[in-house]
Amino acid sequence: MNSLIPLYVVIPLGTAFLTIILGRWFKAISKILTIPALLFLTGLTFYLISQSPQTIVYRVGGFADLLDIPLAIFLVADGFTNILLLIISVVGLLVALYSLDYTKRFSAEEKFYALLNLMIAGMYGVVLAGDIFNLYVFLEIASIASYVLVAFNIEKQQLEATFKYQILGGVSSLLILAAIGFIYWTTGTLNLADIARQLPDANAFQIFVSVLLISGFGLKAAMVPFHSWLPDAHSSAPSPISAMLSGVLIKAIGIYVIIRLFFNIIQINPQIALTVTILGTLSMIIGVFLAIGQWDFKRLLAYHSISQMGYVILGIGMGMLILANGGKESIANLAITGGLFHMLNHSIFKALLFLNAGSVEYITGTRSLQKLGGLSNKMQITSGSSFAASMAISGIPPFNGFFSKIMIIFAAIQAGYYWLALLAVIVSIVTLASFTKVHKYAFYGDLPSKYENVKESPFSMALAMSLMALLCLIMSLMIVPSVRAIFLQPAVDALMQTTNYSSIVLGK
């Protein structure tokens, strides 16, 4: 079992390498390699989840510890890691499927798939990394690949967006690297489990490092007030990449690391927990009110990414706050479960919405809602799947978004955070209003004469959207305790056992 873990990094890196080398002579090699590779990794992820929720540790190099300091590069997979592996694998596979037809317009398809595989390999590496320096290395691999992919069409708008993305991404990386330097200076180790053992208890230094980490990874996650790069980057990128950025990247190299560090590595304290909760609340509110006024389909979706990740951060932040203040663990458990459930749900319905926007733009040549209308009869799969995703993101039953939001709201009520519960409900109502606008202007009303001959998107695009729409319903089953126990509870347990991560990973 342990020896399978490196495959998550080796396979996509190898696929990217072979795509570039062989793509010179055999253009279709990129598609032939990418889909089976991601299909295999998706199957491997479900296999890992089906096993007992034990922590798997793989040592790269296998060096003996020196002076009680672990020297090997650790790859670690636990219940929380498995959630991110599932998100990366499933969304990556469906995006690659969608891209089979979408990328036919590109003159360098093999480079697109090579960069996509590099980004996926980087994200896998981040969530599996057991030491903070290699986490940073994999983060940079994913980030650099995403910078290039945002500007893949080399248009003025894309170049401007990726420039802003790179500048703020560089600031983010600098803050993270500074935090890593301070941690190493204090503890003498880079291994995450060893850092958890040696990092001093709550003091001024720990708060200082925590601020650096929240700022650095908050930029990667596009939390308010670190969100300014996201609307341009997500709206300008090719739609499959927009789906990866919003559905996966901001979680794998942003939200995941924040959660992992502040639950398992750095001691939870009330000030940091309150800060995270406030940032989540602000992201939730500001994102949705910036979204509702947008007329660019993809830009509207980009602002909703900020808002919906606010729900995730709010749920996790409330769990931290309850634990830090010595509250009931059962309520903290509910809040964290709701946050992780919504992170899983968001990866599907938001990726689907970006694919819907890409389908509309692919067929009509525009993403301006004011220039669209009446497409529901011409593009039934795009319209129907967009409806499912819109209901899911708005929290309408029986779609998956309803159940994760209701868990977060119930946790807020049980914890006595009534204003947070009320704000979560209001944001959901405004979200519904925003997507009512999308469907009114894009899919209903009068069909402009220039679109009378349009038809549905090509097969691979329609299939990927249909499968994601189906997942928006199927994932609602995670509200059932027996299903939740398989997918979500091991992740929650891994986080709730805040002091056990070090001993489990190091075996001492």
List the single range of 9-13, 410-414, 454-458 with lowest mean pLDDT: 454-458
d(CA 18, CA 12): 10
More confident residue, 60 or 287: 287
Q: What is the mean pLDDT of residues 365-372?
A: 88
- Name the range with the highest mean pLDDT among 42-51, 337-346, 440-449: 337-346
Query: pLDDT > 70: what percent of the chain?
Result: 96
Q: What is the mean pLDDT of residues 229-255?
A: 89
pLDDT at 64: 56
pLDDT at 63: 61
Mean pLDDT of the chain: 89
Residue range(s) defining the domain that contains residue 114: 2-506
List the single range of 174-178, 416-420, 447-451 with lowest mean pLDDT: 447-451
pLDDT at 89: 95
pLDDT at 206: 82
State the total domains in the chain: 1
* 327 band by pLDDT with thresholds 50, 70 and 90: confident
* 202 band by pLDDT with thresholds 50, 70 and 90: low
* 68 band by pLDDT with thresholds 50, 70 and 90: low
The two tokens of residue 71 are 């020297």
List the single range of 150-154, 392-396, 496-500 with lowest mean pLDDT: 496-500
Short-list 91, 134, 101, 228, CA closest to 172: 228
d(CA 277, CA 258): 12
3-state helix, strand, coil in the chain (%, to 5): 75, 5, 20
H-type alpha helices, 103-191: 109-128, 132-150, 156-187
* 69 band by pLDDT with thresholds 50, 70 and 90: low
At 69, phi and psi to the nearest 5? -105, 120
pLDDT at 172: 92
CB 232 within 8 A of CB 160: yes
pLDDT digits (tens, 9 = 90+) for 160-176: 888 888 998 899 999 99
- For 405-408, the CB contacts below 8 A with 24+ separation are 405/311, 405/338, 405/342, 406/338, 407/315, 407/334, 407/335, 407/337, 407/338, 407/341, 407/479, 408/311, 408/314, 408/315, 408/318, 408/335, 408/338, 408/339, 408/342
pLDDT digits (tens, 9 = 90+) for 39-67: 999 999 999 898 866 788 888 776 655 55
CB 151 within 8 A of CB 140: no
Residue 350's Cβ-side half-sphere holds a number of Cα atoms within 13 Å equal to: 32
pLDDT at 318: 94
User: In which residue are the tokens 């802003």 written?
Assistant: 164
pLDDT at 110: 80
d(CA 46, CA 271): 37
The two tokens of residue 381 are 């799969």
Short-list 400, 130, 131, 109, CA closest to 240: 109
Buried b or exposed e, range 301-316, using 16+ CB within 10 angstroms? bbbbbbbbbbbbbbbb
pLDDT at 35: 93
d(CA 293, CA 112): 32
d(CA 303, CA 222): 10
More confident residue, 68 or 142: 142
* 30 band by pLDDT with thresholds 50, 70 and 90: confident
What does pTM read for this prediction? 0.94
pLDDT at 91: 95
